[in-house]
Structures are given as C-alpha cells and as structure tokens.
Amino acid sequence: MVAATAARGVHRVEQIMGMPIVVDARDVDGDGALDPLFDWFRFVDETFSTYKSDSTISRLNRGEFAVGDAPVVVHEVLRRCDELRAETRGFFDVHAASDDQLDPSGLVKGWSVDRAAALAHDLGWRNYAINAGGDMRVVGGALPHPEWRVGIQHPLMRDEVVAVVAGTDLAVATSGGYTRGDHVFDPHTHEPAQGLLSVTIVGPNLANADAYATAAFAMGERAPAWIARLRGYEGLAITSDSRSLRTPGFPLVAE
Amino acid sequence: MRKEVAALVGTAALALPNLNAVAAISRSTSSTAKTKTVVATKSFTGTPGQADRWGEVEVTIVVKKTTTTNPTTKKKTVKRKITAVKVPIYPNHTDRSVFINQTALPILIQETLKAQSTGIDMISNATDTSMGFQQSLQSAILKAKAW
C-alpha cells in the first residue's frame, strides 16, 4: 500500500483481458484511487472476452439475445468497428473469424484504454499513463517530469529501446509479430515480405492508433507509404536490417 | 483479491522461454559410480496459442530425457532438458484484405537504429504473438512433464 504522504503518485499492474495493464497516476494518492479504472477493465473483459463463455459477446454470439438488446457499450464498440472497417478497407472486420460470430477484440483494447483515460479525466487526474499490453495513453507528465517518455522496444532485442517519444497527450501503439529470420508474410502474395519487424503509431486516440499499427504491420513493406498518408497520426517502422522509417512529425526525443 | 503482477509490462509480456522454463522440468540427480543411463529424445507440441489478431502460434519443444538407475538401490532418476524450441506455425495474414495505396510518394526519414535509454517512463511493444507463444510453450512443457 502506498502511504498518503507528501510523495504523491501510485501505480499498479494487473493481468486483465489476457495482458498486463499498468496504471501509473502521478497526481493521485492511495492505491484505492486506481480501483475505478481496474473495475472498468474487468467490466470490459466480462463484456467483450471471446474466451469467456459467459461474456456478453459470447452470449450474443450464441444468439441468447439480439444485437439490438445488447448493452450500450457493445453498440459503441461495434459502431467503431464499422467505422474502422471502412477506413481500413475491410481490415477491421468483426466477422473476420466467421460470418456469424462477432469478435471485436481487435478494437477493444485501444477503445477501453481511451475510455479509461476519459474516466481518469473525470476523476480529476491530469498526469497519468494507462498501458495495456504495450499500447498506451499518456497524459500530462510523469511528475516531477513535465512530460511522459515512452521507449519503443526493439522487436527482436527485447532489452533494447530503439526510439523514445515524449509528449503530454499521446496514444502510442506498437504492432509486430513473429518473424522467420528476416521475414514477415505478405497478405497478398503469401510470400515472406522483406523486412518489417514492427510499426509504432502515435496520435491522439489509441483505438485508431492501434488499428492503424495493426493494419500497417500487416501491409509489410508497403506500410511506410500508407503511414505517410495518415492524418493526425505519426508512424515509425522498424526494418529487419536495423533501420527505422518515420514520419517527420513523429515525436522523437533527441538523444 | 487483486492479482498483481510483479513486473513491468515490457518485460512481463515479452519474456521468452528462459532457463526457468528448463529448470521447471529438470531434476537434479546425484549419480553414483556404476549407474545405468538411458537417454531418449522426444518432441512435444503445445496446443496452438492464440496470438490475437495474428492467428495461432504453435510451439514444439524437443526434450532429452535421461534416466539413470542406481545399481544398488534400483532407484531411477529422471532428468528432462529442453534441447530445442521450434515454432512450426507462424502467424500469417492470409485472411486480411488491407488498404494499400502506393500512389503517394511517402515523406519518410530513414535512420540506422541505435540504442536509446535515458529516462523512460513506459515501454511500447507488441505483445500479441509472444503471449500466444508463451501459452503454447507452457502447454508443451506440461506434456513433457508427464513423459
């Protein structure tokens, strides 16, 4: 427990939705102050987990009730999925797994962090970070520092950080995946595509940043061209030959 | 009660199999002078781990089992060691249709990577596949333990 002393700030890690969730609040005192956010993430898990048979989404998929009768958060998520599906030309498809099963989990992580940030704001927090499995919103500063510095992990050398971004209101999402040697798979040719190991997208909103990072990573070597055209979002791609490609506005910290 | 994870997200989510995993199925043995030793090798494939958006990851481990029999007590000591980790199923994206526009000339800055370190508050990384990897690895280790 954190004592309510002059040393302000508290953080906690919990494993929810199959990933570690970190909340680091610098202008809040007492561990209990973080409860509303973790309660929110547990609620999201109970609602959207496709791994839990009693989740709302699982019951919806079994036809226990109609979409129209689903809770309002389900409507909100499905609507965002539709918007992103259009924007990514079908990349985000809640029916991706099968035609009669909804699986919005590709969006739920980023969306739930955005909603948690809104909740934190309503609670009066102004300096905090909410990190769900490596994707995060950072707001204000890591007091006493006036901003948050986020390290982008090297996709292969996991104890190395290849870039540092800093900001006072950022969503940061990184997508990557398994590589066989230097290869990732091109979704169109089904051939190993040369050289993209991870994509990081930075912008105002994590649901979008995460969706864009996911889409860009799947594009492989075509990703940089697509990233360069994103509005309001900046990107950094790490290639297998130890180079980075980034948009000019990417908020890198000069070392 | 809350389930607390005592590590930072970066390392916790991406920890790959290490010596701890090996130690978990190894048993120390104190062999005597005239022991009989039988060595066998077998592969164990874990149930595919769901790697979220990327599909499934299936991990196979090769386990070397050394059985030593003490000639006087007839007591058998079994030692298992992971000698290889293979990932036969790689995530791919064959079902995905993506928006690709190559008409715009991208404005991008290319640099050689260099390690950075100073004053980081958070780490951003991709967790999806490694979690599926861990999941599958764990199930392969459980199978090997029963051998």
Q: What is the DSSP string of chain B?
A: ---B--S-HHHHHHPPP-HHHHHHT-------TT-EEEEEEEEEEPPPEE-GGG-EEEEEEEEEEEEEE-TTT--EEEEEEEEEEEEEE----TT-------SS----EEEE---B-TT--EEE---HHHHHHHHHHHHHHHHHHT-
Contact A255 B98 (CB under 8 A): no
Q: Which residue has the higher pLDDT, A30 or B98?
A: A30
Domain that holds residue A30: 1-133
Strand partners, B77: B68
Q: What is the mean pLDDT of chain A?
A: 83
CATH number at residue A90: 3.10.520.10
Which helix (H) or strand (E) segment is A151 a member of? strand A148-153
Tell me what pLDDT residue B45 has: 82
Do A9 and A47 fall within a single domain? yes
Do A240 and A195 have their domain in common? yes
Q: Span B118-128, mean pLDDT?
A: 71
From A185, which residue of chain B is nearest by alpha-carbon distance? B92
* Confidence band for A64, pLDDT divided at 50, 70 and 90: very high
Q: Say if A46 falls within a structural domain.
A: yes
Q: Is residue A142 domain-resident?
A: no
DSSP A67: G
CA–CA distance, A41 with A38 (Å, rounded to integer): 5
Residue A175 is assigned to a structural domain of this protein:
yes
A151 and A250 both lie in a single domain: yes
Judgement on whether residues A167 and A192 belong to the same structural domain of the protein: yes
Please tell me whether residues A15 and A73 are part of one structural domain.
Answer: yes
Within the 42-81 window of chain A, which residues sit less than 8 Å (CB to CB) from chain B? Answer: none
pLDDT band of A33, cuts 50, 70, 90:
very high
Quote the pTM value: 0.65
Helix (H) / strand (E) element for A74: namely: helix A72-87
Between CA B86 and CA B44 the distance in angstroms is 10
The rounded mean pLDDT for chain B is 58
Classify residue A239: in a domain, yes or no.
yes
Check whether residue A167 and residue A88 sit in a common domain: no
Residues A112, A219: one domain?
A: no
- A201 and A167 belong to one structural domain: yes
Q: What is the three-class DSSP state of A139?
A: strand
Chain B within 8 Å of A140 (Cβ-Cβ)?
A: no
Q: Do A215 and B99 touch (CB under 8 A)?
A: yes
- Considering the domain architecture, whether residues A51 and A170 belong to the same structural domain is answered as no
Asked if residue A231 lies in contact with residue A205, where contact means CB atoms within 8 angstroms, the answer is: no
What is the per-residue pLDDT across A92-113, written as a single tens digit (0 to 9) for each?
Answer: 555 555 556 777 877 899 999 9
Quote helix, strand, coil % in chain A, to nearest 5. 35, 30, 40
Given this model, what pLDDT does residue A196 score? 77
Would you say residue A199 lies in a domain? yes
Residues of chain B contacting residue A200, judged by C-beta atoms under 8 Å apart: 124
Arithmetic mean of pLDDT, A64-81: 90
Number of domains observed in the structure of chain A: 2
Residues A63 and A103 in one domain: yes
> In the structure encoding, which two tokens stand for residue A234, read together?
């900046």
Which among A133, A166, A187 is the end of a domain? Answer: A133
Which residue's entry shows tokens 């000698």?
A: B83
A93, A109, A133 - which closes a domain:
A133
Q: What is the residue whose two structure tokens read 């007492």?
A: A30
Q: Kindly list the strands in the beta sheet with A234-239, ordered across the sheet, starting from the edge strand earlier in the chain.
A: A10-16, A19-25, A128-132, A135-139, A169-176, A196-203, A234-239, A243-246, B109-112
Asked if residue A41 belongs to a domain, the reply is: yes
pLDDT value at residue A185: 47
List chain B residues with CB under 8 Å of A244: 110-113
- Flag whether pLDDT at A125 surpasses 90: yes
**Higher model confidence: residue B134 or residue B60?**
B60
Q: Which two tokens stand for residue B82?
A: 């992971």
pLDDT value of residue B92: 39
| Residue A137 predicted with pLDDT over 80 | yes
Residue A32 has pLDDT above 80, yes or no: yes
A226 in a structural domain: yes
Are residues A119 and A3 part of one domain?
yes
Give the strand pairing for A161-167 and A148-153: antiparallel
Of the pLDDT bands very low, low, confident and very high (cuts 50, 70, 90), residue B127 is: low
**pLDDT (0 to 100) of residue B44:** 82
Domain-located, residue A138:
no
Average pLDDT over residues A154-159: 72
B113 and A238 within 8 Å at the Cβ level: the answer is yes
Decide which of A133, A167, A201 is a domain's last residue.
A133
Does residue A170 have a pLDDT over 60? yes
Q: Of A203, A34, A101, which is closest to residue B124 (Cα–Cα)?
A: A203
Q: Do A211 and A122 share a structural domain? A: no
Checking if the pLDDT of B114 tops 70, the result is: no
Minimal Cα–Cα distance from A66 to chain B, Å? 26
Give the nearest partner residue to B125 out of A22, A174, A248, using CB atoms: A174
pLDDT of A92: 57
Q: Report DSSP state, residue A50.
A: S
User: Cβ of B2 and A152 within 8 Å?
Assistant: no
Give B40→chain A minimum CA distance, Å: 29
The partner residue sitting opposite B4, judged by closest CB among A13, A154, A218, is: A13
Q: Are strands A196-203 and A19-25 parallel, antiparallel or unpaired?
A: unpaired
Residue in chain B closest to A242 (alpha carbons) equals B113
How far is the CA of B71 from the CAs of B28, B67, B74, B93, in angstroms? 18, 13, 5, 56
